[in-house]
Chain A
Amino acid sequence: MFLLIFLLIPIIAAVFLFIVKKETSSNAIAISAGLLTLLGAVYIAVNKIDNFDATWLLSINSRFVLQADGLAKILVLLTAISFPAIFIATQKNQIQNKNSFLGLMLLTQAGLMGVFLAGDALLFYFFWELALIPVYFLCSIWGGEKRIAITFKFFIYTFLGSLFMLIGIILVYSNTPDHSFLIESFKHASLTNGQQLAAFALFFTAFAIKMPIFPLHTWQPDAYEQSPTAVTMVLSAVMVKMGLYGVIRWLLPLFPAAAASHAHFVIVLSLIGVIYASFIAIRQDDVKRLIAYSSIAHIGLMSAALFTNTSIGMQGVLVQLFSHGINVLGLWIIADVLEQQTGTRSMKALGGLAKKQPTLAILLVGFAFANIALPLTNAFVGEFLMFNAIFQFNPWMAAIAGVSVVLAAIYTLNMVQKIAYGNISEATSAMSTPNKSAQAVLIVLLVIVFITGVYPQPLFNMTADTLHQLFVK
């Protein structure tokens, strides 16, 4: 029951925001709903929560099941941290129709948390789509100049992917022993080799588009660039995790044989994406695009580690899911502050931030270190484990993946150098007083970065049960 109420908090707040016309208190409502959810998420993370289970569609035997295991906990926690952080950091941004904007954001949050908590395939599909629809409106109404066409591309891509997944779900469902959508019965579905392969391909397409894996990534940089920054934060901090989550929750446990036989194929694709995105990131001048490509590279590495099918790789990914979200969120908030105050995203035009706003510059350096995965930062823990797993799988692939760390250092430090150092540029000199609320959020996030970097044990403990389920038979 707790899980249902927890899921309803953002929905109720969103409905409330849609009904209320006054815009004076909209920020306060959204932030308090976000913080309330965060409180719930922390409670879920440290306690053992009973599943919520209710009948839903009797005739096809689909149930409304919410369950919180380690994987769900860590992603719900990430979601619950991200949204209030975004609300607080961007509360000063000028947005028309703020109520609708925040309401749609809260609906997105509900959809995302539903995806992570769902224990029934059809329910999972439902939330999967529900998370997408508000984002479609958010990006198309409040995005940049080319928003309509770009968002539509993004929408069609992911919608097509999810339709493939729907066929996969129907295929597995029709072969389950008790004709049920529960994940347990899905695991016991008796599929022939051909069917398993087909279902694997169908599910994988949906997840690969969402992550995204090369060559299905083409929607992403444009979508990140054209979306309003608050939505970009959601997309890259939380939404891409839906793809990785899907692989861990559904793909690997349901089709182990097909996953094992196609591991090479997927890992090679992922690594191509990693290297390719890193090189493109080096050439970027736009801060948003740079972070977008850097994010593709990091996600690619995670997907490669997942398909090594080793417990160490899985452990690394489970931690990295959380860490990557926090780091990229920090970078986006800094990019947003810069854009809001200087009016530009071009790194050529920026410079001298360290002299103008030293605090922000220090925070930028902190998150840049996390992005390169230097020791002491949270990303080091996850990436170390992931490289270890890839090395066990194939040393050559580990060598290629290792190049990405060097490339990450090049583009990240290049960005820091251009933005923070040098003389104060024209754009930077236009910056007004520091954005206190954004800086407060950034400091909290940076504290999380270093705490989980030095002492990641709580994250390991939280996800221990998922790991146990997947690798101890």
Chain B
Amino acid sequence: MNAIIVSTLLGVIMMFVSWGTSNIKLQRRIGLVGMAVLIVANLAQLNGWWVVNFDTKGMLAFNQIGLFVNLILFIITFIYLWINGAELDKIGNHTADYYAIFFFILCGVSILTSFDNLLMLFIGIEILSIPLYILTGADKKNLFSNEASLKYFLMGSFSTGILLLGIAFIYGATGSFHLALPIMNPVTKMPVQHFLMSAGLLLLFVSMNFKVSAAPFHFWTPDVYDGAPTVFTPFMATVVKAAGFVAFIKVFEVQRIALGQTTWIIILPFVIVSTLLIGNITAVFQRSVKRMLAYSSIAQAGFMLFALYGISIFNNEALILYIVAYSLATIGVFAVLIKMKDYSFESFNGLAKQHPVLAFLTTLFLFSLAGIPLTAGFFAKYYMLNALLTAGAGIWLLIVAILFAAVSVYYYFKLVQAMYFVEGTPAIHPIDKSYELKLWVIAIILIVLGVFPSLLFNYLYF
């Protein structure tokens, strides 16, 4: 409850900050301090120091994992804002408003990690999505930004409609919005198979896939990620997507029983394989690094979907580690990309000669995305595959996964090749030492988690 209330308050405060001061640097500082306050507030609830609580009549339920995911996503957002603060100012002249929007999105995130009722799922997703449409179109004078925003809004509204229809069907079948177990037949002890229930769950499945940009519901992703101002893309691709996955898991951890295990292990692998296929293969052919990263985020979503295959602590562990590894690496790569004058692969040519440190850091982020050992990305993939096997998936699914992991190496390493092995002069904006230092922080987290991944989970079992 802490996170929901504090983030809302902070959002409102940030809306009025621009009246109080027109100093952009100050606004940025206030935003960062607010972010820190939000982290502390969530930490307070996680450790039980100070909890605001009132009876929500079963709408919300807070558990250790949800709060922990909150903490992780808040910290990632903090790192993201800390690195990209200066770039945010360059988009339009509404710095404080952007921070307000971020806080509202984080409010949506905290609802999505704690909902216990399908209506709250709907509200959480809407609170998360509507500010995103604004962020996508934040660059008002840029036609691509406008196009992306409109596309995102139309497609997003459509999928929300599907979500709502699904919820309505489920209500029709069970008479309840609760995320509890489906009605059991007292004699057979089997869940009651109701047509409306299955139809509703399928609609829910479709719309959740849309939110996490899984194929074949991914078509909005490349255009939106590519069209949105580069500074916002990593936030959409990491924190927002991660929240979507957490909600996805929460819904289908229990409700899949109503769908039937056989149906589940047919439709889920279908979505996973097509997501991996479309994301990876299309990424191979991209000329622009930004677009390649957009497709790679689809591909990574395919890997994260594996966490839905089973229901055990392994799946949650794997998803959390994957979220951290993927988010930090993506934010890192984008932080380098945003400093480039154009986003083609060629513009990275010869970066290693001119900026050896920057090239090294980028390589490390790409290694983590590709899952090379010594980086967090390796253990993320490892935990995921292990969870998959524990959940009883066939080996063929693991083999498909690693085949596509090998394909992903191809396009990530294309960038490494451009930086290290091709001569050229990179077109890059000046970079100061403190910026590099911030990137080092990400790199060190990735390496530490790449050697001791279990550090991350200490919090879950203390």
Contact = CB atoms under 8 A, between A and B. Distances in A.
B419 to A, nearest CB: 11
Contacts of B374: 126, 129-130
B373 A130 contact: yes
A457 to B, nearest CB: 39
Interface in B422-462: 422, 452-454, 457
Interface stretch (B86-94, B149-157, B406-414): B406-414
B372 A133 contact: yes
A140 B420 contact: yes
Contacts of A160: 402-403, 406
A156 B406 contact: yes
B421 A148 contact: yes
B358 interface: no
Interface in A390-430: none
Interface string B354-375: 0000000000000000001110
B399 interface: yes
A468 B390 CA distance: 36
B404 to A, nearest CB: 10
Given A59-B454, A129-B373, A133-B372, A163 B421 contact: no
Contacts of A363: none
B213 to A, nearest CB: 24
Nearest to B390: A174
A171 B398 CA distance: 10
A58 B457 CA distance: 11
Contacts of A129: 372-374
A198 B399 CA distance: 11
Query: Which secondary structure dominates chain A's binding surface?
Result: helix
B385 interface: yes
B402 A163 contact: yes
A279 interface: no
B405 interface: yes
B389 interface: yes
A166 B405 CA distance: 12
Contacts of A137: 420
A125 B373 contact: yes
Residue among A58, A159, A174 having the largest count of chain B Cβ atoms under 10 Å = A159
A126 B395 CA distance: 22
Query: Which secondary structure dominates chain B's binding surface?
Result: helix
A325 to B, nearest CB: 25
Nearest to A59: B454
Contacts of A460: none
Contacts of A174: 386, 389-390
A148 B409 contact: no
Contacts of B117: none
Nearest to A97: B353
A107 to B, nearest CB: 11
Contacts of B382: 166, 170
Interface in A128-187: 129-130, 133, 137, 140-141, 147-148, 152, 155-156, 159-160, 163-164, 166-167, 170-171, 173-174
A167 B406 contact: no
Residue among B413, B421, B453 having the largest count of chain A Cβ atoms under 10 Å = B421
Given A60-B454, A126-B374, A164 B402 contact: yes
A400 to B, nearest CB: 33
Contacts, number: 67
A320 to B, nearest CB: 30
A148 B416 CA distance: 11
B409 A156 contact: yes
A250 B398 CA distance: 21
Interface in B239-298: none
A339 B385 CA distance: 47
B417 A152 contact: yes
Nearest to B398: A167
B409 A159 contact: yes
B174 to A, nearest CB: 37
Contacts of B390: 174
A423 to B, nearest CB: 41
Interface residues of A, number: 29
A129 B399 CA distance: 18
A57 interface: yes
A65 to B, nearest CB: 16
Contacts of A147: 421
B421 A167 contact: no
A203 to B, nearest CB: 13
Contact of A57 (B372, B413, B422, B452): B452
Nearest to B457: A59
Given A59-B454, A166-B385, A141 B421 contact: yes
Interface string B383-397: 001100110000100
Contacts of A141: 420-421
Given A57-B453, A130-B374, A159 B421 contact: no
A206 to B, nearest CB: 11
Contacts of B405: 163
A140 B422 CA distance: 10
B187 to A, nearest CB: 36
A9 to B, nearest CB: 19
A126 B403 contact: no
A56 B417 CA distance: 33
A156 B457 CA distance: 32
B455 to A, nearest CB: 10
Contact of B413 (A56, A130, A152, A170): A152
A166 B395 contact: no
Given A152-B413, A155-B413, A170 B389 contact: yes
A318 B49 CA distance: 63
B410 to A, nearest CB: 7
A163 B420 contact: no
B386 A170 contact: yes
A171 B406 contact: no
A130 B417 CA distance: 18
Contact of A140 (B398, B406, B421, B453): B421
A59 B316 CA distance: 14
B111 to A, nearest CB: 30
Interface in A48-64: 56-60
Interface in A180-201: 198
17 contacts: A58-B454, A60-B454, A129-B372, A129-B374, A140-B421, A141-B420, A147-B421, A159-B409, A163-B405, A163-B406, A167-B395, A167-B398, A167-B399, A170-B382, A170-B385, A171-B389, A173-B386
A-B interface, 3 closest residue pairs, ranked by CB to CB distance from nearest: A163-B402, A59-B454, A160-B406
Given A59-B457, A164-B399, 13 more contacts: A59-B453, A129-B374, A130-B373, A148-B421, A152-B410, A160-B402, A163-B402, A167-B395, A170-B382, A170-B386, A174-B389, A174-B390, A198-B395
